[in-house]
């Protein structure tokens, strides 16, 4: 039996994320589906519209790898996210869900069309630091939607489900690559979740391992707003001290 390819592992991750999303959508009450959000407090359909917009861009990036037209870069992500919210805030749940379902079908087709070599060798779009395409797929198709799924659970007061989905998908992300850099990044992102939600000891434990695996994360952590809740803790300060 041969080892799974990067593409096989990514396909499994994407399928698991879709299943996590579907489980949440199925659990929503009608009033949750139809709730109107605000620009600084999104309703479930706003989260879904947001992740669908970025997934649609990822589809275009995969299509560009097989000869499609390359996408232009986005200069201001916050401005773009605000514009996506405004453009979709008055759509009903069924309309947004139909859009998301169509985009997910497009993603399946576009992902099937790229080769293992393309995923490994072609860099992601401008703004991804020249990282290979597979890492952009893992982030946009895995980490990013799960971040929003967790946010919806948290809005419902269900920390346990938010934590569980974050841990499950972090495990799937970690399985994609054995390199210290990737393992460190995956643990770091999970640490950010715990830092943002009043679990400092779990966050610090993950950060300690992440920074040992990928020391370049130390410099980034000094300015990362996700870790602001840890800054005054001696344990955090010891992790980021300059040699």
Q: Are residues 143 and 200 in the same domain?
A: no
Band of residue 131 on the pLDDT scale cut at 50, 70, 90: confident
**pLDDT-based confidence at residue 129 (cuts at 50, 70, 90):** low
Same domain, 76 and 185: no
Domain limits for position 221:
178-243
Q: Does residue 211 share a domain with residue 140?
A: no
pLDDT band of residue 52 (cuts 50, 70, 90) is very high
Give the length of the chain: 243
Supply the CATH number for residue 94's domain. Answer: 1.20.120.450
Q: What is the pLDDT of residues 79-95, one digit of tens each?
A: 999 999 999 999 999 99
Q: What is the pLDDT of residue 222?
A: 93
Query: Helix (H) and strand (E) counts for the chain?
Result: 13, 0
Cα 102–Cα 130–Cα 3 angle in degrees, nearest 5: 70
**Is the domain of 152 the same as that of 184?**
no
pLDDT score of 123 more than 90: no
Task: Please indicate, yes or no, whether residues 48 and 118 belong to a single structural domain of this protein.
Answer: yes
Q: Are residues 134 and 184 part of one domain?
A: no
User: Does 135 share its domain with 187?
Assistant: no
What pLDDT is stored for residue 74 in this prediction?
86
Residues 116 and 203 occupy one common structural domain: no
pTM of the model: 0.91
Q: Is 166 inside a domain boundary?
A: no
> What was the pLDDT predicted at 124?
54
């Amino acid at each position: 039996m041969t080892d799974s390819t990067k593409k096989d592992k990514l396909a499994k991750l994407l399928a698991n994320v879709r299943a996590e999303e579907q489980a949440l959508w199925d659990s929503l009450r009608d009033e949750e589906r139809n709730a109107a959000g605000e620009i600084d407090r999104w309703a479930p359909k706003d989260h879904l519209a947001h992740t669908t917009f970025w997934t649609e861009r990822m589809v275009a990036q995969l299509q560009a790898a097989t000869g499609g037209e390359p996408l232009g870069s986005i200069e201001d992500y916050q401005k773009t996210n605000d514009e996506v919210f405004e453009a979709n805030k008055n759509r009903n749940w069924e309309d947004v869900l139909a859009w998301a379902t169509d985009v997910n079908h497009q993603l399946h087709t576009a992902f099937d069309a790229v080769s293992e070599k393309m995923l490994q060798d072609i860099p992601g779009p401008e703004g991804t630091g020249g990282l290979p395409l597979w890492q952009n797929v893992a982030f946009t198709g895995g980490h990013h939607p799960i971040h929003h799924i967790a946010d919806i659970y948290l809005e419902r007061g269900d920390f346990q489900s938010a934590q569980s989905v974050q841990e499950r998908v972090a495990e799937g992300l970690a399985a994609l690559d054995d390199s210290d850099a990737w393992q460190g990044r995956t643990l770091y992102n999970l640490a950010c979740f715990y830092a943002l939600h009043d679990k400092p000891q779990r966050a610090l434990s993950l950060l300690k391992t992440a920074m040992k695996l990928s020391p370049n994360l130390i410099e980034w952590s000094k300015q990362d707003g996700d870790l602001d809740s840890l800054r005054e803790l001696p344990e955090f300060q010891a992790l980021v001290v300059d040699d």
